[in-house]
Amino acid sequence: MMVPAYGDSGRTGRFAVSGLDRPSGWDWHSDIGNPVVGRLLRDGDLLFLGGGNGVLTAVDADNGVIRWQKQVRVIRPLPDDWEDPNPDEWDYGWEEHEWLAIPLAVVAGKVFVKVEIVDQDPYEVAVDRYTGELVGEVTTGEPGVDPATLVMLDTLRAVDPLTLRVHWWPKGVDTWPLEAPPAVVDGLVVASCKVDPERGHGGLHAFDRASGERVWGIGVERDAEGNAVAVHPVHPAVADRTVWIPRWRGESTEIVGFDLRTGRLVHEYAPAEGGRWRASGAVAVAGGLVYAVLTNGAPLPEGQSHPAEVHALDAATGELLWVSPVGLPVVGSPVLAGDQVLLAGSDGRVCGLDARTGALWWTADVEVELGVGAINAARGVHTEFPAALLPGDGVLYGQSRTGVVALR
């Protein structure tokens, strides 16, 4: 069975696994020979990684051996009368090095993959989980299925996993879905949108899971001082009927909670004044606490920088409980396993904090850079920066720039 994105359907970042008490070191590193793009997926004995050159890779979750690699796309011949309007300026993506394969979900023996080819509309396909062979393309139509069986793709399309037909997507709504896993809780699908300052897109929206009708939406606003107020383009975390997400207010970041049913603002936490706070990814929620990784971007003397900090809030009141500085250049969202908050640094260091107090339990170095590389960064507002860590029972996987590493 596929490990849910960020641990559960609420995308809280809490994984129902033991994790690691104190890792002895990295066990193996599987280099897939391609820049990794998208987020790391696990389904039983396999890990799935997307990559450049349209390559999807399946890696053995126990030993790191590559089970299969396949280039993924549907060939669509150009019309006979088609002419390139800019032959010297554009490349329309028909060469093998100009497309991306991005894994979205593993359901019913199929891996759903988003295919991006430069200067063409992206599309989704399904490939066989065991072989990587193409099963078919996701298409629109009338699937005629029980909505409870639908799989919600990161592209905010509700798909019948058997027929590959799209049951609904947010038609007629001024939303641009972000490529990030939506939260699916209590009959609602809660998703963030891309940020497009020129068109005013962005925000947080809730949809009825069965019909796709929008229940509520929060867009870009202005406060009394004229500052732009907009949620970050990351996945929401939903727990106890509250939707948690970082939000910009002018040049700084705050952590906010909205009522799941109405979208009404119920919690608002702003770090210390005088800073230009930035969040690393989304928040995590577990055990009545909300965890956010924040860094103060206020200017310092040359050669100095502010450390990243974990801010823990009371989920019932939104009030700050403690702050724990960490000496890592944190990438991605925090995740939790056992009694630990787990963080990854782009320099290859990983650490575990006590989830109740913020005390540092351990630090390990996997000796490779963690986090996705330049390809994901170039995709900008289209996708969130994925979590660099995926915990399991007695193991912790780290997504490197060109593969995956395991700590035990």
In this prediction, residues 94-112 reach a mean pLDDT of 79
CB count, 10 Å around CB of 189?
24
CA-based nearest residue to 290, from 18, 15, 12: 12
Whole-angstrom Cα distance, residue 341 to residue 297?
A: 23
Does the structure show a pLDDT above 60 at 47? yes
| Residue (of 3, 1, 5, 2) closest to 237 by Cα position | 5
Of all residues in the chain, the percent with pLDDT exceeding 70 is: 84
Tokens encoding 404: 């995956």
* pLDDT band with cut points at 50, 70 and 90 for residue 140: confident
Residue 378's Cα: distance from chain center in Å? 16
pLDDT digits (tens, 9 = 90+) for 217-231: 998 888 888 888 889
pLDDT confidence band for 88 (50 / 70 / 90): very low
Q: Is the pLDDT of residue 31 over 60?
A: yes
pLDDT attached to residue 257: 98
Average pLDDT along the chain: 86
The residue ranking higher by pLDDT, 317 or 232, is 317
Under the banding of pLDDT at 50, 70 and 90, the label for residue 38 is confident
66-to-35, 49, 69, 103, 200 alpha-carbon distances in Å: 15, 11, 8, 16, 43
pLDDT of residue 91: 39
pLDDT of residue 142: 61
pLDDT at residue 401 tops 60: yes
Q: pLDDT at position 141, please? A: 64
Tokens standing for residue 182: 């939506």
CA 37 → CA 74, 102, 284, 401, distances in Å? 19, 6, 22, 8
198-210: average pLDDT: 77
Q: With a cut of 90, say whether residue 201 has pLDDT above it.
A: no
The mean-pLDDT minimum among 72-76, 169-173, 305-309 falls in 169-173
**Residue 89's pLDDT band (boundaries 50, 70, 90)?**
very low
Q: Token digits for 245? A: 């997400």
The most confident of the ranges 45-59, 287-301, 376-390 is 45-59
What is the assigned CATH class of domain 5-76+95-407? mainly beta
Given a cut of 90, whether residue 361 has pLDDT beyond it is yes
What pLDDT score was predicted for residue 103? Answer: 93
Interval 141-189: pLDDT, tens: 665 556 667 888 887 889 989 889 988 887 655 556 677 889 999 999 9
Q: In the prediction, which pLDDT does 52 show?
A: 84
Apex CA 219: angle with CA 8 and CA 38, to 5°?
Answer: 40
> What is the CA 38 to chain-centroid distance, rounded?
8
What pLDDT is stored for residue 173 in this prediction? 53
Spatial CB neighbours of 88, under 8 Å, sequence gap ≥ 6: none
Does residue 86 register a pLDDT over 50? no
Band (78; pLDDT cuts 50, 70, 90): low
